[in-house]
Amino acid sequence: MARMQQNGPILIAGAGAIGSVMGAMLRAAGHEVAMLGRRAHLDAVARTGLRLTGLFGERVVRGFTLAERAAELDRRFDLVLLTVKSYDTAAIAAELSPILAPDGLVVSMQNGVGNIETFVERFGAARVLGGRVIFGAEMESPGAVRVTVFAEPVAVGPAPYVQGEQSARLVERARAVAAMLTQAGIPTEACADVMPYLWTKLFYNAALNPLGALLGLHYGALAEDPDLRAIMNDAIDEAFAVARRTNVAVPFKDADAYRSVFYEKLVPSTFHHRPTMLYDLERRGRTDVDALNGKVVELAERFGLEAPVNRMLTRLVRARERLQKEKSEQS
Q: Range with the lowest mean pLDDT among 21-35, 138-152, 270-284?
A: 270-284
Task: Please determine, for residue 4, whether its predicted confidence score (pLDDT) is greater than 80.
Answer: no
Last residue of a domain, one of 172, 193, 214: 193
Q: What is the pLDDT of residue 3?
A: 38
CB 76 within 8 A of CB 101: yes
The mean of the pLDDT values for the chain is 94
User: What's the CATH code of the domain at 15?
Assistant: 3.40.50.720
pLDDT digits 0-9 by tens, 193-239: 999 999 999 999 999 999 999 999 999 999 999 999 999 999 999 99
CA torsion, points 6, 10, 15, 20, in degrees to nearest 10? 0
- Pairing mode, strands 50-54 and 33-36: unpaired
Residue 241: CB atoms within 10 A of its CB come to 17
Q: Are residues 123 and 200 in the same domain?
A: no
Residue type, 33: V
CA angle 281, 43, 330 (to 5 degrees): 35
Q: What residue type is assigned to position 148 of the chain?
A: T
pLDDT tens per residue, range 304-315: 999 999 999 999
Pair 189, 63 in one domain: yes
Is residue 178 within 8 Å of residue 141, measured between CB atoms? Answer: no
**By the 8 A CB rule, do 86 and 76 touch?**
no
* 160 and 304 belong to one structural domain: no
pLDDT band at 247 (very low <50, low <70, confident <90, very high): confident
Q: Do 121 and 94 lie in a common domain? A: yes
* AA identity, residue 290: D
Is a pLDDT exceeding 90 seen at residue 324? Answer: no
In this structure, are 23 and 172 located in the same domain? yes
Domain count, the chain: 2
pLDDT value, residue 330: 76
pLDDT confidence tier of residue 1, bands split at 50, 70 and 90: very low
240 in a structural domain: yes
| Pair 210, 181 in one domain | no
Kindly state whether residues 178 and 53 are assigned to the same domain.
yes
Specify the pLDDT at position 2: 37
Residue 5 predicted with pLDDT over 60: no
How many other C-beta atoms lie within 10 A of the C-beta of residue 91? 10
127, 162, 193 - which closes a domain: 193
Q: How far apart are CA 138 and CA 277, in angstroms?
A: 12
Tell whether 181 is covered by a domain. Answer: yes
Same domain, 181 and 223: no
Neighbours of 272 (CB within 10 A): 11
Is residue 90 in some structural domain?
A: yes
- Answer whether 23's CB lies under 8 Å from 64's CB: yes
Active site residue 85: no
Range of the domain at 59: 2-193
CATH of the domain at 307: 1.10.1040.10
Give the model confidence (pLDDT) of 41-86 as tens digits. Answer: 999 999 999 999 999 999 999 999 999 999 999 999 999 999 999 9
Whole-prediction pTM value? Answer: 0.90
Name the pLDDT band for 331 (thresholds 50, 70, 90).
Answer: low
CB–CB of 43/112 below 8 Å? Answer: no
Catalytic residue (one of 201, 265, 295, 325)? 201
Same domain, 316 and 211: yes
Same domain, 200 and 189: no
Is residue 331 domain-resident?
Answer: no
From 166, 193, 220, give the residue that closes a domain: 193
Based on the domain organization, do 159 and 218 belong to the same domain? no
What digits encode the pLDDT tens for the residues 262-305?
A: 999 999 988 998 888 998 898 888 999 999 999 999 999 999 99
- State whether 251 and 133 are in the same domain: no
In terms of DSSP H, where are the helices of the chain? 2-6, 17-28, 39-48, 89-96, 115-123, 160-163, 166-183, 195-215, 219-224, 226-245, 255-261, 267-269, 276-283, 293-303, 308-330
